[in-house]
Amino acid sequence: MTPAARLQATLDLMHDVDSVARPADAVVSAWFRARRDVGEKDRGAISDLLYALLRHHARLGWWLAKHGRPDTPRNRLLAWLALDGGMTRDQVQGLFNGGKLAPAVLTDHERTLLVKLQGSRIDHPAMPDEVRFECPAWALDLLRRRFPHTFGDEMAALLTTAPLDLRVNPLKSTREDVLGELRALGLPAEASRMAPYGIRVAERPALNRLPMLKTGAVEIQDEGSQLVAMVVDARPGERVVDFCAGAGGKTLAIAAQMANKGYVMACDVLAGRLKRAAERFRRAGLHNIETRPLANETDRWVKRHKGSFDRVLVDAPCSGTGTWRRNPDARWRQLGPGIEALLPLQASILASAARLVKPGGRLVYATCSLLAEENEEQVAAFLAAHPDFHVVPLREVAPQLTDSAHPDFLALTPARHDTDGFFAAVLQRAAISPAEPMPEPSDAESAG
């Protein structure tokens, strides 16, 4: 593709992202699947430009408002080329030439905009903090409270490009072997700093260049997400529930951690996601996983299996603030409940899932949020209402993780750990006393 054709393709993709109520990564994947003829280098260039525009959404909008121009995909692209690309009006005009597959010729208003922007940079001292830090107003004070001393560093880290992290499936390969395969493909890769099965790839290659993905030898998973699964500390032979399994990334890591021995139940309210996750489980060679669609967090299945599981992971739905560098569009597009609805939902899910934990078992509450309201404060409220649970400090669960941002919980941040933002608290239920009756055995997993 010519440079002009890449710009037009990016414009087309931007229109799709803006007009569809789906996460940008899903829209991008579908867009390229429908255009198999687009080459690898062109895909990379188009994706990089699109995500740059998404990461600078508020600042580009500020410049357009300053010069009285509507915030449209085309104007955003023009502003980006002038501000970050440093292109002159004539240079942009050479690309927006109306030729085959090229963007339409510039209008007089567009040429004027480019002249006004020439010599400026994307940041400006007059920008309010929510614009400069690309932070929606609802989250600004919450994040300032969470990071009173490092707010600027964390917000800057959230504006960087997320790395490509892989998790090796120990049932099919070793980290050393996969590192060798990646390097043989010409890809710079290294072992993750904290996750024992993690690999970080310095480039973002087309995924079809990674044959180990097709065989189930590796999965794409942020290092922080891998560490959340690790602190579940599931042992071979145990019974485990991933209560909000979603696409199954943590379920896969937990089941592999158990060496395919024992039993893992992957639950979610979205049956379609569980169905797609089942294919990932099969490809990974894991046969100790069963899926269970739930009507809601208080589904009757929970009551029937009360006190039946050694480990229960609640990866709760959340604001996703920890994933903003990976999903920059999530800052501005509310595709799910807002924070006011999420907080009571998280509390309800945690309380319901806790019923599944057997005496002496563990409940792990996790989010991909950076907000104390969704993390530490949720745990404190749960413990106040459930005195039979107590915190297991991180040093007891994973003594090798010495750099958590909280002494008792797993707390990962982009600036401090170069991972997505993740939180996990390990809570243990008191063992039943000799004077108390043992719970009746639960019905077979295939029932209900």
Q: Is the dihedral of CA 328, 334, 340, 344 positive or negative?
A: negative
Q: Which helix (H) or strand (E) holds 263?
A: strand 263-268
Cα–chain-centroid distance for residue 385? 30
Whole-angstrom Cα distance, residue 349 to residue 100?
A: 54
Please give the C-alpha separations between residue 445 and each of 100, 117, 304, 360, in angstroms, as whole numbers: 60, 64, 10, 21
Give the Cα separation of 428 and 205 in Å (integer): 42
How many residues does this entry show for the chain? 448
Count each helix (H run) and each strand (E run) in the chain, helices first. 20, 12
In whole angstroms, give the CA distance from residue 284 to residue 128: 48
SS3 of 252, please? helix
State the Rg of the chain over Cα.
24
Catalytic, out of 135, 267, 318, 368: 368
Q: Using the Cα atoms of residue 145, residue 147, residue 153 and residue 157 in order, give the sign of their dihedral.
A: negative
Tell me the three state secondary structure of residue 168. Answer: strand
Locate 274 and state its tokens.
């569980």
Active site residue 368: yes
* Residues with catalytic function: 368
